[in-house]
Structures are given as structure tokens and as C-alpha cells.
Amino acid sequence: MSRTALALSLLMLTLAGAVEAAPDAGRLAQQLREHAPTCGRFTQRRWMADLDTGLDSAGHFRRQGEALIWQTLTPVADRVRLAPDNPDLPLGLKAMLPVLTGLLAGDWPTLEQHFEVRLEGEIAAWRARLAPRDPAVAERLESLQVKGGDRVERVLLRFTDGDRLTLKLEPAGCDALDTKEPES
């Protein structure tokens, strides 16, 4: 074999190894549905570009029907009921509701109504990049990057103003969570 042919063969093998096939969206959705936690713990880091600082917080969540109860424990106790029928929910959180519930439950059809979804990796270690379809959402939200295995493990939201929000999610038994309302 000539050096040129050998070099081309090696290049083709290298390029073939670098291209990852995306996991099957239907199979991934099924996997996420089967492993969707009813309850879990989260840590989040909010980077606020205009203040050039970050804020760490932690708490837990519980899915209740169409609602997601998001309870922050530190640094400030707060509880938000993320639900379509919650009139007190700020517009920004209402926009995030289908994202959070869709991600946790593996509801790709709902996500694809709101975002262009690009899957990468393999079923055991997948990544998804989501870009907003709705121009009103795209004015504030640049992109979402999601990583996981059996379930969603990490979410990174990038906002158009330079802010970022990183969420790390872990399943937890519902009985192990403190579900009392925070004191005002």
C-alpha cells in the first residue's frame, strides 16, 4: 500500500471515529420516561453577567401531576409551584415549565414544539442541544445544553444577556425530602 493510500485510510478511520451517531430520540424518550424521578435534589449555579458574580443554591423538586414543586433550601428558602394553572407564576418561569417537565419526563414532542433539538452521543451518555423556535423566547434564552444517562443529570441554560444557569439533578426518595413550606 502506498504512503498516500495509507495516510488516507488512517485519516478516514480517524474521521469515522470522531463522528458520533445520535441516540434514537424515541428510545431515549422511553428511557427517560422509565427513569423519570418523581422527586429529586438539585444544585444550581446562577451566573449573573451584569454583576460579574455567581449565586449557588440547592434544594429539591417533586413532580405532582402537571405541576413541578421547586423548593430552594439554601441560601434562601423558597417554594414555587410550576404549573400551567398557577396565576402567580412569573412569565419567565411559565416559559420554562414545558422545558423542565419535558426534560424530566423525556417528552421530546413537547420540547420539539418549543425548541430545535439536536441529540449527540449514545443512549447511555447522551447530550442534547436545544435552540428556541419561538422568537419571543429567543430574545431572552440563547440555548439549553442537557446531559444525561438513564435520566437528565445536568442542564445549562444560556441567556442572551450573558447570564447562565447550571442545574445538577439527582433522584431522591420523596420520603427523604423536607416538604414543609418555607417560613416567611
Helix (H) / strand (E) element for 13: namely helix 3-18
Q: Is residue 2 part of a domain?
A: no
Q: Is residue 55 part of a domain?
A: yes
Phi then psi dihedrals of residue 137, to 5 deg: -70, -40
pLDDT at 64: 87
pLDDT surpasses 50 at 134? yes
Cis peptide bond upstream of 75, omega within 30: yes
pLDDT surpasses 50 at 68? yes
pLDDT at 112: 86
Question: What CATH number has the domain bearing residue 51?
Answer: 2.50.20.10
Q: Is residue 74 part of a domain?
A: yes
pLDDT digits over 14-57, tens only?
333 434 568 888 898 899 889 888 999 999 999 999 999 999 99
pLDDT surpasses 90 at 95? no
Give the percent of the chain with pLDDT over 70: 83
Q: Containing domain of residue 41, as a range? A: 19-176
| Cβ-contact 46, 55 below 8 angstroms | yes
pLDDT surpasses 90 at 136? no
pLDDT surpasses 70 at 114? yes
Q: Is residue 13 part of a domain?
A: no
Mean pLDDT of the chain: 83
pLDDT at 149: 93
Q: Is residue 14 part of a domain?
A: no
Phi then psi dihedrals of residue 33, to 5 deg: -60, -45
- Mean pLDDT (whole number) for 99-113: 82
pLDDT at 14: 36
3-class DSSP state for residue 50? Answer: helix
- Mean pLDDT (whole number) for 136-159: 91
Torsion of CA 49, 83, 31, 40, to 10 degrees: 70
CA atoms of 113 and 110, how far apart (whole Å): 5
Q: Is residue 27 part of a domain?
A: yes
Q: Is residue 95 part of a domain?
A: yes
Q: Is residue 11 part of a domain?
A: no
Q: How many domains does the chain divide into?
A: 1
pLDDT at 143: 92
pLDDT surpasses 60 at 12? no
